[in-house]
Amino acid sequence: MKNHGGCNIAGVRVHAVDYDYTVERIIDAAVANEALSVSALAVHGVMTGVDDAVHRWRLNNFDLVTPDGQPVRWALRWLHGIKLPDRVYGPNLMRQTVAQAAEKGLCVYLFGGTEEILSALTAKLVDKHPDLVVIAEASQFRTLDATERDSLVQRIRNSDADVVFVGLGCPRQEIFVSEMAADVGLPMLACGAAFEYLAELKTEPPAWVQRYGLQWFQRLLADPRRLWHRYLVLNPRFVARIVAQHTGLWNPRLEDTEAAVEPIRYG
């Protein structure tokens, strides 16, 4: 297992860890009924922190932020000399965590997405792990008021769940986990597109596309109107930031204070 600790990537703390360490940490927290906030960040996720000091504070206070994208993994090597064997990709992290949860008789809670996505995802998970207990709740796709938020916390706490997977899209899912993990008191994973991939409602890129960091290009071709800004603007800006950090032209700090962090309560 590899854990090189948290590293400064453009001012966002990314943990240089592998799958084995991350899954074990999550399962240990689940067995102990302890809060643990986890997210897998690609370039887009890192840049949401670069561009928003409040959100950067949220990300830097996660217990684990794994290098989801190959460019983030490469940045760990270039800036900090850390050579990880692979990225820790959200869908694969969910697969491995669910497998370990099923093996240990743990219950998983799925929050986010539509009823259609959750129905398909639950069916796929139970088909693969027949003894797995799955509880699913769709997103309302709006902000929750304080009463609704507290009610959701109680539903999760009273559900006998051991691990919570959150699929609301970036950065909504990170905001949600940041606000909810301590009150829920369980490991919560912000896992992005994992719900649709594991439900087999969307096709994952081939292994070679993922290995060479070209997943962004395939997604851009599939949905250019929605994703052009994310990939054609944010990707070059990320590279420029990493180059500036590497050369010392820019020295981002991790020690941002909690400046006016207002609850958003996405649900």
Q: What is the residue-level pLDDT of the chain in tens, covering all 267 positions?
A: 767 789 999 999 999 999 999 999 999 999 999 999 999 999 999 999 999 999 999 999 999 999 998 999 999 999 999 999 999 999 999 999 999 999 999 999 999 999 999 999 999 999 999 999 999 999 988 888 889 999 999 999 999 999 999 999 999 999 999 999 999 999 999 987 899 999 998 866 666 555 655 565 566 556 666 655 666 778 889 999 999 999 999 999 886 555 545 555 555
User: Does residue 49 lie within any of the structural domains?
Assistant: yes
User: Does residue 212 lie within any of the structural domains?
Assistant: no
How many domains does the chain divide into? 1
pTM for the whole structure: 0.89
Containing structural domain, residue 138: 3-201+233-247
Non-local (6+) Cβ contacts of 228 within 8 A are 220
User: Does residue 151 lie within any of the structural domains?
Assistant: yes
User: Does residue 209 lie within any of the structural domains?
Assistant: no
User: Does residue 214 lie within any of the structural domains?
Assistant: no
Predicted local distance difference test score (pLDDT) of residue 106: 98
User: Does residue 211 lie within any of the structural domains?
Assistant: no
The tokens of 99 are what? 């497998």
User: Does residue 171 lie within any of the structural domains?
Assistant: yes
User: Does residue 27 lie within any of the structural domains?
Assistant: yes
